[in-house]
């Protein structure tokens, strides 16, 4: 059974390959697509997740046959550092397999500083890993409303700060953008600790996306990031929503900032 797969659609913009470790998530994000993707009730999906059955054995079998040279993202379904039944032991084990098989890895989490328990393992990857956080809302009350089970905004920034200090490549996903002002505040807060900024919008959530001036948001984001010399990727949906904004080639190529 192949557990590393090529994402499709919008997910493909984040990584050429991916691996999902858990089929549930404790973060309870209001906008989460996980339940509908897996055709599960929200109350069933938002439980303390367990690792996928035989995930480690199936991964080892797949890597014995073929070794990916492209980045593998952990993960689109669930969170590699959410509060799980195994305390994220499967995440660590998978990373150890990746390290042994020289497989480049990217981690995207809302677990904040929980990921730092594997800092020494991250360091062993050298240039072949990047660790990122989804940054959504700056205000603590808003964050707890929209992402009640996820790490607090400052805790996510603290994780990126420690990773950056340790020489680990960092990135942040600014998607969904629920409140443009708060996303811009988080961009400013992360200027010194985030290497790559991946920016999208919010889609089809109660008509919220129709109320936002995406051209203004994108203009202001670029005014923050470009002078700082940051690596930037603007997702397709945001480009379509702000077509008058001129973007450079390296700002629209999804694989430009992957590790290998």
pLDDT confidence of 39, banded at 50, 70, 90?
A: confident
Question: Is 114 within the bounds of a domain?
Answer: yes
Question: Is 2 within the bounds of a domain?
Answer: no
The CATH number that applies at residue 190 is 3.20.20.70
Percent of the chain with pLDDT over 90: 91
Give the number of domains in the chain. 1
Q: What's the mean pLDDT when you consider all of the chain?
A: 96
Model pLDDT, residue 37: 84
Model pLDDT, residue 44: 85
Q: Is the pLDDT of residue 149 over 90?
A: yes
Q: Can you give the pTM of this predicted structure?
A: 0.96
Rounded average pLDDT over 34-52: 90
Model pLDDT, residue 36: 84
Domain extent at residue 27: 9-246
Model pLDDT, residue 162: 98
Dump pLDDT digits (tens) for 100-133.
999 999 999 999 999 999 999 999 999 999 999 9
pLDDT confidence of 89, banded at 50, 70, 90?
A: very high
Rounded average pLDDT over 157-184: 98
Rounded average pLDDT over 124-148: 98
Question: Is 255 within the bounds of a domain?
Answer: no
Model pLDDT, residue 205: 87
Question: Is 253 within the bounds of a domain?
Answer: no
Model pLDDT, residue 33: 85
Model pLDDT, residue 130: 98
Question: Is 1 within the bounds of a domain?
Answer: no
Question: Is 4 within the bounds of a domain?
Answer: no
d(CA 86, CA 117): 14
Q: Is the pLDDT of residue 160 over 80?
A: yes
Model pLDDT, residue 228: 97
Question: Is 251 within the bounds of a domain?
Answer: no
Question: Is 47 within the bounds of a domain?
Answer: yes
Rounded average pLDDT over 39-65: 94
């Amino acid at each position: 059974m192949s557990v590393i797969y090529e994402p499709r659609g919008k997910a493909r913009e984040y990584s050429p390959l991916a691996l999902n470790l858990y089929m549930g998530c404790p973060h309870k994000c209001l906008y989460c697509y996980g339940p509908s993707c897996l055709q599960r009730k929200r109350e069933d999906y938002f439980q303390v997740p367990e690792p996928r059955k035989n995930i480690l054995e199936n991964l080892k079998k797949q890597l014995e046959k073929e070794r990916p040279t492209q980045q593998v993202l952990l993960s689109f379904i669930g969170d590699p550092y959410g509060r799980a039944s195994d305390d994220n032991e499967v995440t660590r084990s998978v990373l150890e397999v990746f390290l042994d098989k020289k497989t480049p890895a990217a981690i995207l989490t809302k677990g904040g500083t929980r990921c730092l328990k594997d800092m020494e393992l991250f360091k062993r990857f050298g240039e072949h890993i990047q660790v990122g956080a989804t940054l959504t809302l700056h205000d603590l009350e808003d964050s707890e409303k929209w992402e009640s089970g996820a790490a607090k905004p400052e805790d996510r920034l603290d994780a990126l700060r420690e990773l950056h200090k340790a020489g680990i490549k960092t990135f942040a996903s600014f998607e969904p953008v629920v409140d443009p002002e708060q996303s811009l505040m988080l961009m400013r807060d992360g200027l010194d600790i985030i290497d790559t900024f991946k920016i999208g919008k919010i889609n089809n959530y109660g008509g919220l996306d129709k109320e936002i001036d995406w051209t203004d948001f994108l203009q202001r984001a670029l005014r923050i990031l470009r002078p700082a010399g940051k690596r930037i990727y603007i997702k397709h949906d945001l480009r379509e929503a702000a077509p008058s904004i001129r973007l450079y080639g390296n700002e629209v190529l999804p694989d430009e900032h992957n590790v290998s």
